[in-house]
């Protein structure tokens, strides 16, 4: 019996961690223990709980040994549950074990001793931890001293969610011996440090009308996750043909080994797994080019897939607005804006970033001679998704399209500035973008017909 358990555990980590190791091109010290310490002020607020559950959701996909010390483990769960619990410690315990049934996780007691790699959430955390997380509206902070957080508001769910991504990044970089530094990063204007804007204190639930989401992978899982946490009033059609594989669970916040059929049952489809977490999602289990729903008119189109020439197909739709979110080598998350007639099309953008100069999402990673195109890390997929969800928020509020910038990047490996913004244009031989009359006719059937950025 013990041999079977050992064999299963080895098979589990081998399959699940293949994409992590492909991405890093190295073995990761997954058994180096890490600890998370949460003070009462964080345990008892929605934003604090969101930072905690989002942090451990990522850590358990990479680190096999973890202590999670909660000042008030019995606190009522205030954020949406992924595991059906009502109390905070119960949800966290179920979550980490659901993500990794073989991990060594100790959850609950506030007295758990810190590990060498440790992180604190909340103003009244114990001292001498390696890292601390805080937030102020949409601004997230990573620091080496306790930094707390501002007044609880709808925007603080943006800042605390992003803080959890900074925390997971810092812990992984520390485990790898990579240099990292304190920083502030904004989930509102996507800028870092002095340029980071906390944005409005109150933000409405996200409403971008009828949405089409092409692709149901790790970035789409992240988009659904943020919509679920921040609130959603849009309706979505979600198209994907795949089922969940165990190696998807190294990074997708809403995929679990049981979705992948672990240990020995049938895997679920990605669209079914995502649709269960958000009302107003119509799941379509098909390739984009075979889905009849793809012929409908949508207000907002998210392109989150790249197989079967889907980028060329979506570029010929001429929707008023298409958005993409991608991950790349060098610990990169990106969001791409495509306003028809103003920005370049999806097809030109993604062929552009194939050049080695930019080392973006399309680059193929090789380990032991085996190409793996879709390798990424949890905070990169969730980070690209957060940039996209934030862009949806700005689109909804009219804070959109005023400048020429159409690509925003976060480089989590950088020891200097994390964010960059740039402008891309269609290639001279682009055949996807139609004339102004056609574009106006398509836009006229959407909620954006009179949007300032359309003029």
Task: Give min distance, CB of 348 to Zn ion, in A.
Answer: 3
User: Least distance in Å: CB of 315 to Zn ion?
Assistant: 6
Task: For residue 345, give the DSSP letter.
Answer: P
**Which CB atom, from 251 or from 349, has the smaller least distance to Zn ion?**
349
Beta strands in 300-406 (DSSP E): 300-303, 321-328, 332-339, 365-367, 370-372
Sequence-ordered list of residues with C-beta below 8 angstroms from that of 423, at least 6 positions apart, any chain: 404, 405, 406, 407
> What's the min distance (Å) between Cβ of 134 and Zn ion?
42
Q: Nearest 5°: phi and psi at 38?
A: -125, 125
CB of 373 to Zn ion, least distance (A): 22
Rank residues 119 and 345 by Cβ distance to Zn ion and give the closer one.
345
Closest residue by Cα to residue 56 from 68, 46, 44, 45? 68
In angstroms, what is the minimal distance from the CB of 269 to Zn ion?
A: 32
Question: For 329-406, where are the alpha helices, taking DSSP H only?
Answer: 346-352, 378-396
Interface ranges with Zn ion (CB under 5 A): 345, 348, 426, 430, 432
Neighbouring residues of 234: CB distance < 8 A, sequence distance ≥ 6: 206, 207, 208, 209, 210, 211, 227, 280, 300, 392
Minimum CB distance to Zn ion, residue 322 (Å) = 11
Q: Which of 289, 249, 290 is nearest to 268 (CA)?
A: 249
Which tokens belong to 430? 């682009």
N-to-C CA span, the chain = 68
Distance of CA 413 to the CA centre of its chain: 17
Place of tokens 């980071």: 196
What are the tokens at 362? Answer: 């399309």
CB 51 within 8 A of CB 120: no
Of 112 and 313, which CB lies nearer to Zn ion in the complex structure? 313
**Closest approach of Zn ion to the CB of residue 435, in Å:** 14
Question: Which structure tokens are listed for 64?
Answer: 């096999």
Which residue, among 267, 430, 219, has the nearest Cα to 345 in the 3D structure? 430
- Interatomic CA distance for residues 448 and 203, integer angstroms: 20
Q: At CA 300, angle to CA 389 and CA 231, rounded to 5? A: 40
Q: Let me know: does 378 contact 251? Beta carbons within 8 Å.
A: yes
117 versus 346: smaller Cβ distance to Zn ion: 346
Provide, rounded to whole angstroms, the least separation between the CB of residue 352 and Zn ion.
9
Task: State which residue, 330 or 351, has the beta carbon closest to Zn ion.
Answer: 351
Q: Could you give phi then psi for residue 370, rounded to 5 degrees?
A: -100, 120
**Quick one: 22 or 432, whose CB is closer to Zn ion?**
432
User: Residue 337 is encoded by which pair of tokens?
Assistant: 């804006």
The smaller minimum CB distance to Zn ion, of residues 21 and 352, is found at 352
Classified as helix, coil or strand, 284 is strand
- Closer of 413 and 430 to Zn ion (Cβ): 430
Residue 257 CA from chain centroid, whole number = 18
| Shortest CB 433 distance to Zn ion, Å | 5
> Considering just the CA atoms, what is the radius of gyration of the chain in Å?
21
- Between 245 and 345, name the residue whose CB sits nearer to Zn ion: 345
Decide if 274 contacts 254 (C-beta within 8 A). yes
Q: Which CB, 177 or 428, lies closer to Zn ion?
A: 428
Q: Which is nearer to Zn ion, 89 or 345 (CB)?
A: 345
Residue 361 C-beta: closest distance to Zn ion, Å: 17
Closest to Zn ion by CB, 372 vs 430, is 430
| Nearest partner of 255 among 271, 238, 237, judged by Cα | 271
Smallest separation (angstroms) from Zn ion to the CB of 297: 21
Q: What minimum distance in Å lies between the beta carbon of 430 and Zn ion?
A: 3
């Amino acid at each position: 019996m013990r041999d079977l358990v050992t064999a299963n555990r080895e098979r589990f980590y081998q399959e699940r961690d293949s994409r992590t190791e492909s991405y890093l091109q190295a073995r990761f010290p997954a058994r180096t223990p890490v600890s998370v310490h949460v003070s009462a002020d964080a345990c008892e607020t929605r934003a604090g709980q969101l930072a905690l559950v989002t942090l451990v959701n990522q850590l358990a996909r990479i680190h096999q040994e973890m202590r999670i010390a909660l000042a008030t483990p019995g606190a009522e769960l205030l954020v949406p549950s992924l595991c059906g619990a009502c109390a905070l410690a119960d949800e966290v315990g179920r979550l980490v074990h659901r993500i990794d049934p073989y991990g060594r996780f100790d959850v609950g007691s506030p007295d758990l001793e810190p590990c060498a790699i440790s992180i604190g959430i909340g103003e009244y955390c114990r001292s001498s931890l390696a890292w601390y997380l805080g937030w102020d509206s949409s601004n997230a902070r990573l620091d080496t001293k306790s930094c707390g957080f501002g007044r609880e508001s709808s925007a603080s769910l943006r800042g605390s969610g992003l803080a959890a991504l900074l925390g997971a990044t810092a812990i992984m970089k520390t485990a790898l011996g990579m240099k990292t530094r304190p920083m502030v990063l904004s989930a509102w204007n996507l800028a870092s440090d002095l340029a980071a804007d906390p944005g409005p204190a109150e933000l409405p639930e996200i409403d971008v009308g009828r949405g089409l989401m092409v692709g149901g992978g790790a970035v789409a899982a992240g988009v659904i996750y943020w919509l679920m946490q921040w609130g959603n009033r849009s309706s979505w059609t979600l198209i994907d043909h795949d089922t969940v594989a165990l190696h998807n669970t190294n990074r997708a916040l809403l995929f679990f080994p049981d979705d992948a059929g672990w240990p020995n049952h049938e895997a679920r489809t990605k669209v079914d797994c995502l649709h269960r977490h958000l009302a107003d999602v119509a799941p379509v289990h098909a390739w984009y080019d075979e889905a009849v729903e793809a012929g409908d008119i949508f207000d907002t189109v998210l392109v989150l897939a790249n197989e079967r020439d889907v980028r060329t197909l979506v570029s010929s739709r001429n929707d008023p607005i298409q958005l993409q979110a991608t991950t790349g080598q060098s610990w990169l998350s990106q969001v791409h804006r495509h306003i028809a007639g103003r920005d370049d099309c999806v097809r030109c953008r993604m062929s552009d970033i194939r050049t080695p100069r930019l080392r973006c999402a399309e680059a193929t990673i090789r380990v032991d001679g085996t190409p793996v195109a879709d390798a990424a890390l949890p905070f990169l997929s969730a980070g690209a998704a957060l940039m996209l969800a934030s862009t949806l928020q700005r689109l909804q509020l009219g804070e959109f399209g005023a400048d020429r910038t159409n690509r925003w990047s976060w480089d989590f490996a950088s020891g200097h500035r994390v964010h960059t913004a740039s402008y891309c244009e269609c290639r001279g031989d682009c055949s996807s973008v139609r004339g102004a009359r056609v574009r106006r006719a398509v836009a006229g059937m959407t909620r954006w017909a009179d949007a300032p950025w359309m003029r």
